[in-house]
Amino acid sequence: MGSTDSWLRALIGVALLLASTHVTAGYVEIPADVSMHLSADPDQDLVTGQPITFTLAVTNHGPEPVSVLVASSSPFTNEFVLSSGTTDCKDLGLVVVDGQSFYYYYDWVPTSTGPLAVGETRSCHVTLSLSAQAPDTWTFYFSIPVFYVDLDPSNNSSSVTLRRGSPTAHAVPALSPLMLFLLALLTATSGAMAAAGSQVVASLARIHGKPPG
């Protein structure tokens, strides 16, 4: 009897899901406008090993509750140190793609705790450290996949641009007193040699009866 009750509850759950969303040819139609927002702190003057906290948020602008929704990140390879990552997202999964190319991406299921009500925003945080292989500037985003069709797809993606800090300028080391003396002596010697050379040219010109050049 217990197994029958579980089967009935699962069947009722599927029926409720189909009642709130319409699946057509691989697409999930969402009867509402859902927006995605992503921010990063910090996002500039980054250095290797620095933690970056990403805030993910989805909002249901109505007119109906949303029972099922997934948000996916942009693909990445070695820009972050995954071993030190932390999150307070209840249903955030790291997906590994190993086919023609190798990369990672995150999937977040904000509706895992129940339908997203009209006017409700759900958010969570992911903290990842910058790796030594990360480029100087790159874009990271979270978006609602294209197979989720809501009433306004223009706000289904949000991105942040991450920038490393400018290279630190190195100060020119100060010269020692001895080096300053030698530099002054070299300058004076060069000037004296140039003057002597001019006098030699003038003397030779007088000997040959030509004006000095």
- The full set of domain ranges for the chain reads 2-163, 174-213
pLDDT value for 52: 98
Mean pLDDT of 93-115: 94
pLDDT digits (tens, 9 = 90+) for 198-209: 554 455 455 555
pLDDT value for 45: 97
The side-by-side arrangement of strands in the sheet containing 32-41 is: 32-41, 51-63, 121-130, 80-87
- DSSP secondary structure code for residue 155 in this structure: G
Q: Comparing 174 with 30, which gets the higher pLDDT? A: 30
The mean-pLDDT minimum among 42-46, 90-94, 139-143 falls in: 90-94
Segment (H or E) for 107: strand 102-108
pLDDT value for 112: 94
- Can you tell me which residue has the tokens 């797809």? 153
CA-wise closest residue to 160 among 175, 180, 177, 140: 140
pLDDT value for 101: 87
Q: Comparing 207 with 29, which gets the higher pLDDT? A: 29
pLDDT value for 169: 43
How far is residue 204's CA from residue 211's CA, in Å, rounded to a whole number? Answer: 9
Evaluate if pTM is beyond 0.75.
no
Q: Letter for the amino acid at 174?
A: A
The mean-pLDDT minimum among 42-46, 166-170, 189-193 falls in: 166-170
pLDDT digits (tens, 9 = 90+) for 141-167: 999 999 999 999 999 999 999 999 975
Q: The domain at 2-163 falls in which architecture?
A: Sandwich (2.60)
% of residues, the chain, pLDDT over 90: 62
**End-to-end CA distance of the chain, in Å?**
118
Q: Tell me if 72 sits within 8 A of 126, measured CB to CB.
A: no
Mean pLDDT of 108-130: 97
Q: Comparing 66 with 211, which gets the higher pLDDT? A: 66
Q: Is the pLDDT of residue 83 over 90?
A: yes
Q: Tell me if 34 sits within 8 A of 150, measured CB to CB.
A: yes
Q: Comparing 66 with 12, which gets the higher pLDDT? A: 66
